[in-house]
């Protein structure tokens, strides 16, 4: 592989000139420049980014550590991150790591990334690495939390208002007449999930309803675990009117459990979901859900990070709260889009169920 020295030799100039041509960092006589460019083309020279990184003390690479890219929320978040990065500098990129919500793995990932000298890190913290992260930002190192805040760690954060969004969708359930509302809660020690439970409690409280611990079922944060938890909910006697699922995995599990039990949503039990899906409009029941601006969250995370990286801004963490959208579809029993069709739909569903 050709080096800058080879190019210099072939063009009959010094390495400094070659470097300056490549980086447009000082005036070079047009004719010289052309000779250099020609040599670069002839030799198929490609600048060595590693040597460059060593010299400049920056890599042009950031770390992106999320729970699971296979979850559409994180996938969209990452797409937003990539989009923003590309816009700012096409030579910038990111190393992705999935933690599966495991704190030990999160820590390992970050250690490796730090050794690779990433310029910054966007993280959806799994919870459990407070001291480690606190230490990290105090170096200081550019770090942005996405989706979740970490109490005691004063880093930039981009998230949504999980409390109020949850309050809204549980209110919606209440408005539709549901009273016994179960909560299918991901067992994750993170702010977003806790906040969603808080919103649930607040909505119940506003409505003068008691908080019933027996209606709160926790689940591991994978679909298989959520299916099990969903079964537990369906075994509650009497059957709850509705279930509020705190993230996409919980929703998938709940729907699967409902289907396996040959029950019908929303007739037998309503489901409200945190997190929307791209296919929510294409299949049945159409999910009533809180949609997060995942892509925009990614973009904002990058902006915050670049900001930290550039000016070596070292002040307090800034918290960005983006707004969510409640998409009222049919899984809670609000068949708004089917004019006058509610009774027929119910009937159809009954027939459907009786066929099982």
Partner DNA sequence: TTGTATGCGTTATCAC
Partner DNA sequence: GTGATAACGCATACAA
Q: Is 29 in the site for DNA (CB under 7 A)?
A: yes
Cα separation of 241 and 207, whole Å?
15
Q: Is 116 in the site for its own copies (CB under 8 A)?
A: yes
Q: Is 52 in the site for DNA (CB under 7 A)?
A: yes
Nearer to DNA, 44 or 343 (CB): 44
- Going by C-beta distance under 8 Å and a sequence separation of 6 or more, which residues neighbour residue 334? 172, 176, 288, 328
Tell whether omega for the bond before 150 is within 30 degrees of 0, i.e. cis.
Answer: no
247-266 binders of its own copies (CB under 8 A): 252, 255-256, 259
**Which of DNA, its own copies, none sits in contact with 356, Cβ below 5 to 8 A by type?**
its own copies
Q: Is 24 in the site for its own copies (CB under 8 A)?
A: no
Cα separation of 79 and 66, whole Å?
12
Which of 2, 96, 309, 320: binder of its own copies (CB under 8 A)?
96
Assess contact for 134 and 153: CB atoms under 8 A.
yes
- Going by C-beta distance under 8 Å and a sequence separation of 6 or more, which residues neighbour residue 24? none
Nearer to DNA, 44 or 316 (CB): 44
In 3D space, the residue among 107, 120, 102, 193 whose CA is nearest the CA of residue 156 turns out to be 120
In 3D space, the residue among 246, 327, 301, 318 whose CA is nearest the CA of residue 88 turns out to be 301
* Region binding DNA by CB under 7 A among candidate stretches 29-37, 255-263, 298-306, 315-323: 29-37
Q: Is 47 in the site for DNA (CB under 7 A)?
A: yes
Q: Is 104 in the site for DNA (CB under 7 A)?
A: no
**Which of its own copies, DNA, none sits in contact with 20, Cβ below 5 to 8 A by type?**
DNA
Q: Is 171 in the site for its own copies (CB under 8 A)?
A: no
Mutual angle of helices 4-11 and 30-43, in 10-degree steps: 130
Assess contact for 160 and 292: CB atoms under 8 A.
yes
Binding site for its own copies (CB under 8 A): 46-51, 53-54, 59-61, 68-70, 72, 75-76, 78-79, 82, 90-91, 93-98, 108, 111-117, 223, 252, 255-256, 259, 277-279, 281-285, 338, 341, 343-345, 347-352, 354-356
């Amino acid at each position: 592989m050709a080096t800058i020295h080879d190019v210099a030799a072939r063009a009959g100039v010094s390495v400094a000139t070659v470097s300056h041509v490549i980086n447009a960092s000082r005036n070079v006589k047009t004719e010289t420049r052309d000779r250099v460019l020609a040599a670069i083309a002839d030799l198929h020279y490609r600048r060595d980014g590693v040597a460059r990184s060593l010299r400049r003390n920056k890599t042009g690479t950031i770390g992106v550590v999320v729970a699971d890219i296979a979850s559409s929320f994180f996938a969209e978040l990452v797409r937003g991150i990539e989009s923003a990065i590309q816009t700012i500098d096409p030579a910038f990129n990111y190393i992705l790591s999935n933690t599966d919500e495991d704190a030990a793995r999160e820590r390992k990932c970050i250690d490796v990334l730090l050794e690779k000298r990433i310029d910054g890190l966007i993280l959806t913290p799994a919870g459990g690495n407070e001291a480690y992260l606190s230490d990290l930002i105090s170096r200081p190192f550019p770090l942005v939390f996405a989706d979740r805040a970490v109490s005691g760690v004063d880093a930039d954060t981009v998230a949504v208002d999980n409390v109020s969004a949850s309050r809204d969708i549980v209110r919606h359930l209440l408005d539709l007449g549901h009273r016994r509302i179960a909560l299918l809660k991901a067992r994750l020690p993170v702010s977003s999930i806790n906040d969603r439970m808080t919103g649930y409690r607040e909505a119940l409280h506003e409505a003068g309803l008691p908080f019933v611990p027996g209606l709160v079922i926790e689940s591991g944060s994978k679909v298989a675990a959520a299916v099990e938890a969903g079964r537990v909910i369906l075994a509650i006697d009497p059957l709850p009117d509705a279930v509020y699922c705190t993230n996409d995995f919980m929703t998938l599990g709940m729907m699967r459990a409902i289907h396996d039990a040959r029950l019908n949503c929303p007739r037998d039990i309503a489901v409200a979901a945190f997190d929307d899906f791209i296919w929510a409009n294409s299949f049945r029941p159409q999910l009533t859900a809180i949609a997060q601006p995942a892509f925009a969250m990614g973009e904002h995370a990058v902006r915050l990070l670049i900001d930290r990286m550039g000016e070596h801004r070292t002040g307090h963490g800034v918290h960005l709260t983006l707004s969510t959208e409640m998409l009222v579809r049919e899984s809670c029993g609000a068949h708004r889009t089917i004019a006058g069709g509610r009774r027929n739909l119910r009937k159809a569903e009954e027939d459907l169920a009786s066929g099982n």
